[in-house]
Amino acid sequence: MRFRMLILGLAGALLSAHLSWAQLDTETPAQPSLDPAQIDAPFVHDELVVGLESGDLALPMLAMEMVGTITAQNPPINSFVIKLAPNLTMQDAGEFLRALPGVRYVEPNYLAFAFATPNDPSFSQQYGPQRIQANLAWDIWQPQRTVYIAIIDTGIDSNHPDLTNKMRRHSNGAVYGWNTLNNTTNALDDNGHGTHCAGIAAAEINNGVGIAGVAAWNPNVANARAYVQLMPVKVLSASGSGSLDAVARGITWAADNGAHILSLSLGAGSGAQQLQDAVNYAWNRGCLVVVAAGNGGSSSPQYPAYYTNSIAVAATDSADRLASFSQYGSWVDIAAPGVGILSTIPNNRYASYDGTSMACPHVAGAAAVLWSHNGSLTNAQLRAALETNVDPYQPYSGRTLAPNAGRLNVYRALQAVGGGGPTQPSLNSLSLNPTSVVGGNSSTGTVTLTAPAPSGGFVVNLSSSNTNIATVPSTVTVPAGATSANFTVSTRAVSSATSVTITASAGSVSRTATLTVNPSSSNVTLQSLTISPTSVWGGRSATGTVTLSGPAPAGGVVVQLRSSSSRASVPSTVTVPAGATSARFTIQTRSAFSITTVTITATYNGVSRSAQLTVWF
């Protein structure tokens, strides 16, 4: 602050000493913001461009040298580039310079990029890469390492002219892939589905053939095609079907054999522990697992998309409207183009298909663009960059995705992880913990930035949709060098459950989160008991879930449990923690020479709920 006052004081002194400058032309263009948080376009950090009026340049030249070093100039138009002195912000220096007579404008030193347009003849027929701004991402893509995408599907036609140069290969030239159906390295596509998905993710770009995949190309990068390579993992037969065991083995093989990104345009209406274990195994090994959400046009979970460590991808059309066939709901993480998608199919051909199967490899390809550019990202950071730097989508008949979810934008995501010069922070996410409270209690909000806050901090504006129920401070400041900050959401007592939307905004970016404020917990009752799966082989286990009508009060809620048969045993009680609305418990079964239907009963405060489990042999 002392430095700021000194600069402004010097500006006043210089103004008083040179009033004669007012006789010059005073036309002044509109001045852009110099607050890094408010600047939407890429720019050079710690530099300003200053434009002067014609005439005596001594005063402004002296002033510019007071705030930094003149590193470039353009005499015909009297413009100068200043590298600012350490610890001097763009706003303070700009305010000082703008106050001086003879200074026509002060603005950021914006960055410009060549517009890459590939020569693939069918690129003009592909709305997908352009909708997600992959063509803009290519302009700033500077790959640092090779990334492998495993297409876990029906295989890949590795001889297709748009794919053959993008295949990962052994030193002897053989394709690096696997076929879990017969345990061979022959993963050629005998269906077409996997080849179509492979082309969407990474068909060779600027080769004068066919289409352009999402990942990746830059005319200024030598051998650009080598930085993203495809690995075929065949888990589905010629009919397009396969067992979850085959899928699970394909996932673990890919994770064990160097794949960074696993793209699964497949799914089932029922999950399996083996499949979930495989997804978790890949995630824990640092892989990113991208999965099609499904084409049933419902909110029903599909697997493995539904698992926590999978990115579930919905489909949108060329107008960013959620496809009528796409799965939806709070478990779906992101959307991408999936209607009328032109891509490769076997025997050197091309075709347009619809489906979340087509949306999934758009996200997988985008992930490869980011990860090849910035190899230091963890899979969690990569996932966050993809899911938070998105564009709005249009719901279909009221169908929506997860809160804050949107349609993929690879250009914005690449900028967020360091594309296009020095990274400027922007608002990345807003979260609440807990997301449900009893009125009168508080929740903690957390705002997260895409990069560390600059000198002076980063201010985020806050608001509540219902200040009678939940209040927040007007702003929260992320300290210099930090990437997040917390704030408190205070609530009042309510007579019925009420949802309040908390909004955080900075510049043109807004993020929202929903807080449910519940009435006093004294009337909480047992609402339901569910069992998953509803049938198991003897010796296996199932999971029971008890759900309350509202959050448990302080001390939690103890629910009594019992089983109707010794074929299935349960703990005597399960506790729902304070503030939570549900809790899980394990049902352990034993083998016998019969099929038995067991009734599990949960009881709390005089209310009982039951569910049945079938135990096989």
Which whole number is the average pLDDT over 573-598? 90
Cα 149 to Cα 278, 289, 440: the distances in Å are 17, 10, 49
- Which residues make Cβ contacts (< 8 Å) with residue 603, sequence separation at least 6? 526, 559, 560, 561, 562, 609
Q: Which residue would you say has higher pLDDT here, 428 or 391?
A: 391
Q: Which residues contact 135 (CB under 8 A, 6 or more apart)?
A: 115, 116, 117, 118, 129
194-210 pLDDT, tens per residue?
999 999 999 999 999 99
* CB 262 within 8 Å of CB 282: yes
Sequence-distant (6+) residues with CB within 8 A of 76 are: none
420 pLDDT more than 70: no
**In terms of residues, how long is the chain?**
617
Nearest residue to 504 (alpha-carbon basis) of 417, 437, 446, 443: 446
Judged against a pLDDT cut of 60, whether residue 15 lies above it is answered with no
As a whole number of angstroms, the distance between CA 565 and CA 535 comes to 15
In this predicted model, which residue has the larger pLDDT, 281 or 452?
A: 281
Q: What is the mean pLDDT of residues 378-389?
A: 95
- The DSSP output letter for 431 is E
User: DSSP 3-state helix, strand, coil percentages of the chain (rounded to 5)?
Assistant: 25, 35, 45
Comparing 59-63, 219-223, 378-382, 491-495, the range with the smallest average pLDDT is 59-63
Encoded amino acid at 530, one letter: T
Catalytic site residue from 35, 92, 139, 153 = 153
The residue ranges of every structural domain in the chain are 2-110, 147-177+184-416, 427-518, 523-616
Please state, as a whole number, how many other Cβ atoms lie within 10 Å of the Cβ of residue 89.
Answer: 18
pLDDT of residue 53 exceeding 90: no
- Read off the pLDDT of residues 74-83 as tens digits, 9 standing for 90 and up: 887 788 889 9
Residue 387's nearest CA partner among 376, 395, 399, 379 is: 379
Question: Is residue 435 a contact partner of residue 513, using CB atoms and an 8 Å limit?
Answer: yes
601 three-class SS:
strand
pLDDT score at 43: 67
pLDDT at 508: 62
Instruction: Name the percent of the chain lying above pLDDT 90.
Output: 58
**pLDDT tens digits along 459-516:** 999 999 999 999 999 999 999 888 899 999 999 988 888 999 999 998 767 788 999 8
Backbone angles phi, psi at 209, to 5 degrees: -130, 130
Active-site residue flag, 357: yes
Cβ pair 46, 435 in contact under 8 A = no
Superfamily (CATH) of domain 2-110:
Peptidase S8 propeptide/proteinase inhibitor I9 (3.30.70.80)
pLDDT digits (tens, 9 = 90+) for 173-197: 999 999 999 999 999 999 999 999 9
pLDDT score of 326:
96
Least confident of 14-23, 379-388, 552-561: 14-23
Q: Mark whether 193 is an active-site residue.
A: yes
Contact 189, 349 (CB under 8 A): no
d(C-alpha 322, C-alpha 534), whole Å: 33
- CATH code that applies to domain 427-518: 2.60.40.10
Residue-level pLDDT at 16: 43
User: Which CATH architecture describes the domain 523-616?
Assistant: Sandwich (2.60)
Please give the Cα distance from 265 to 310 (Å, whole number). Answer: 12
Mean pLDDT of 156-184: 96
Please classify residue 435 by burial: count the beta carbons closer than 10 Å to its beta carbon, then call 0-12 exposed, 13-18 middle and 19+ buried.
middle
Q: What average pLDDT does the chain have?
A: 87
3-state secondary structure 142-180: CCCCCEEEEEEECCCCCCCCCCHHHECECCCCCECCEEC
Percentage of the chain surpassing pLDDT 70? 91
Looking at 35, 92, 193, 263, which residue is catalytic? 193
Burial class (CB in 10 A: 0-12, 13-18, 19+), 112: exposed
Q: Which two tokens stand for residue 412?
A: 């914005």
- pLDDT confidence bin for 371, thresholds 50/70/90: very high
Q: Which residues pair with 299 in a beta bridge?
A: none
User: Taking 70 as the threshold, does the pLDDT of residue 24 lie above it?
Assistant: no
Amino acid 500: pLDDT: 94
Radius of gyration of the chain (CA): 29
Q: Which two tokens stand for residue 357?
A: 């199967």
| Whether this model's pTM surpasses 0.85 | no
pLDDT at residue number 13: 44
CATH 2.30.40.10 for domain 147-177+184-416: no
Point out the least confidently predicted range of 25-39, 199-213, 339-353: 25-39
Identify whether the C-beta of residue 549 lies closer than 8 Å to the C-beta of residue 504.
Answer: no
Q: Is 522 assigned a catalytic role?
A: no
Three-class DSSP category at 201: helix
Residues near 548 by Cβ (< 8 Å), separated by ≥ 6? 524, 525, 526, 527, 557, 576, 581, 582, 604
User: Which is nearest to 281 in space by CA: 304, 251, 302, 305?
Assistant: 251
Q: Is 427-518's fold the same as 523-616's? A: yes
Q: pLDDT tens digits for 356-368?
A: 999 999 999 999 9
Question: Residue 17 in 3-state DSSP?
Answer: helix
Residue 333 pLDDT exceeds 50: yes
- Choice among 265, 326, 357, 431 that is catalytic: 357
Nearest to 349 by CA among 228, 150, 199: 199
Between helices 356-373 and 379-388, what is the axis angle to 10°? 120
pLDDT on residue 193: 96
Q: For the residues 87-116, what does the mean pLDDT come to?
A: 78
- pLDDT score recorded for residue 111: 53
CB-based contacts of 435, cutoff 8 Å, min separation 6 = 443, 513, 514, 515, 516
Q: What is the 3-state secondary structure (H, E, C) of 537-584?
A: ECCCEEEEEEEECCCECCCCEEEEEEECCCCEECCCEEEECECCCEEE
- 594-600: list long-range contacts, CB under 8 Å, 24+ apart: 596/565, 596/567, 596/568, 598/563, 598/564, 598/565, 598/567, 598/568, 599/563, 599/564, 599/565, 600/529, 600/531, 600/544, 600/561, 600/562, 600/563, 600/564, 600/568, 600/570
Please state the rounded mean pLDDT for residues 86-115.
79
φ, ψ of residue 67 to 5 degrees: the values are -105, -5
Q: Going edge to edge, which strands form the sheet with 427-433?
A: 427-433, 442-449, 484-491, 470-471
